[in-house]
Amino acid sequence: MIKSISGIRGTIGGKPGENLSPLDIVKFTAAYGSWVSEKNGNHTPGELNKKIVIGRDGRISGELVNRLVVSTLLSLGFDVIDIGLSTTPTVELAVNAEHAAGGIIITASHNPKEWNALKLLNSIGEFINAEEGLSVLKLAEEEIFDFVPVDKLGNYKPDDSYLQKHIDAVVKYDVWGISDKNLFLEANTVLKDQQKPFFAIIQTADNHRPYSIPEEDKDFEKRLVPADTLKKYGFESLEEYHAFYYSDYCFKKFMEEAKKQFYSNNTIFVFTGDHGVEGDAGELYPSAWTANRLSDEHVPLLFYAPALLSPQKRNEVVSQIDILPTIAGMIHQPYINTTLGRDLLKTKSKNNAAFIIHHDEGNIGVVTDDYYFIKNIRINKEELVSIKSNQLNLSRTQQDSVKHSLSALTSAIYETAKRMLVNNKKLKAE
């Protein structure tokens, strides 16, 4: 179990205090409710706000955690608005719409199915700040809770309308403030006016929930895709597929406009993702991609610079940390590489590897062209799996040899990265 100023998360079951047990859920919910009551105590009785909104994601333990949270809040005298299955932004919207005292989101985000968490909101639908989070943790530690008598129990109200309300708001006003297409077009107007070499980052968002396609993009053609095909390629719904398809549409619009400008002929365009998507990848990849969460880490990487590169497709394992050294090598200027990344266009090494860390579980590891090695920094546990098949076709001696080699590489990257975080001094210009 991990306690932090933003909430509490852990694996369901186990011993109280070690995992996210029912006792821990009740205690932490009671602490949050007590904190909200203390804030209410700063108002006159007529201004007391006794309403809290809760929502959850679709993981297996969601209903169980939901019931414990609801019962605890009712026992503290709060009225609970339960909006059911929802996204984090939807709960935030509902807190504001209900003029509630706060909200609890029951979700463990990208963590595996055995995890769940409580994420805490203030009265304006924002995550509580560090000082407020410490107050909640202190109340949970002290366990001094004041539950109300039976005639003052709170009221429970389910309301499953907020997802549609959120969608309606998105259709009317893009939830991200600007569509990816318009973001790209605006970026192009800025970039074309640059008089000196520039480095620019454009971060898109439309392929995140809640999915929406702007009404103004009449030339975007939605497709009908069979449900079994969607499942095969990892999409949960047709809406999710269209959101990713819309991303390609936006990239196309951007490049069409960029090619009209002088800067495009002297610019290196790089397209990549910050993370992959959790889900069942069994139709396309071996079991390790799903069981060991490799699909979470699998992202595209495309370098586009026709004046510098010939078209080619590469299949070796690379990492996000390789992007900057590769760009630096492409501009044909001398540079010193103080990162752990490499120039992908110059290296002839066959030791391709990408470092992966899952903080919640305490797992670190490396992916190579053939294997994924994982070790835990908290307990003595190691695992070696194939990323090309469901069988690890190695003898015991060969497995031990590969584990030994990749364990040393994993530790070397991990320890070096930790040292670099605290010793990352800027080089003096010569």
The string of DSSP codes covering 51-69 is EEEEEE-S-TTHHHHHHHH
Distance between CA 361 and CA 377 in Å, rounded? 9
Higher pLDDT, 380 or 112: 380
Residues 144-167 have a mean pLDDT of 92
pLDDT score for 276: 86
Q: Which two tokens stand for residue 384?
A: 């070696």
pLDDT score for 215: 85
Residues 198-203 have a mean pLDDT of 95
- Give backbone dihedrals phi and psi of 136, rounded to 5 degrees, phi first: -65, -45
What domains are there in the chain, each with its CATH number? 2-167 (3.40.120.10)
Distance between CA 210 and CA 239 in Å, rounded? 9
Distance between CA 349 and CA 344 in Å, rounded? 10
- Say if pTM beats, i.e. exceeds, 0.85: no
Higher pLDDT, 211 or 217: 217
pLDDT of residue 43 exceeding 50: no
Residues 95-109 have a mean pLDDT of 92
pLDDT score for 299: 93
Percent of the chain with pLDDT over 70: 94
Long-range contacts of 60-69 (CB under 8 A, 24+ apart): 60/113, 61/12, 61/114, 61/116, 62/106, 62/116, 64/12, 64/22, 65/12, 65/20, 65/25, 65/106, 65/116, 65/118, 66/106, 68/22, 68/25, 68/26, 68/29, 69/25, 69/29, 69/104, 69/106, 69/118
Distance between CA 323 and CA 215 in Å, rounded? 35
Helix (H, G, I), strand (E, B) or coil at 405: helix
pLDDT of residue 209 exceeding 80: no
| Phi and psi based region of residue 370 (left: phi greater than 0; alpha: psi -120 to 50; beta: remaining) | alpha
Report how far apart, in Å, the C-alpha atoms of 267 and of each of 257, 293, 304, 327 are. Answer: 14, 35, 9, 10
pLDDT score for 45: 37
pLDDT score for 44: 37
Q: C-alpha dihedral over 23, 151, 120, 11, to 10 degrees? A: 20
Closest to 79 measured CA to CA, from 140, 146, 138, 148: 148
pLDDT score for 117: 93
Average pLDDT, the chain: 90
pLDDT score for 47: 44
Residues 116-121 have a mean pLDDT of 94
pLDDT of residue 424 exceeding 80: no
In 100-190 the beta strands, taken as DSSP E runs, fall at 102-106, 115-121, 156-158
Q: Which two tokens stand for residue 367?
A: 């992916």
pLDDT score for 351: 80
Q: Which two tokens stand for residue 209?
A: 């929930």
Alpha helices (H) along 226-330: 227-232, 238-258, 288-291, 294-297, 323-330
Alpha helices (H) along 57-159: 62-75, 88-97, 130-142
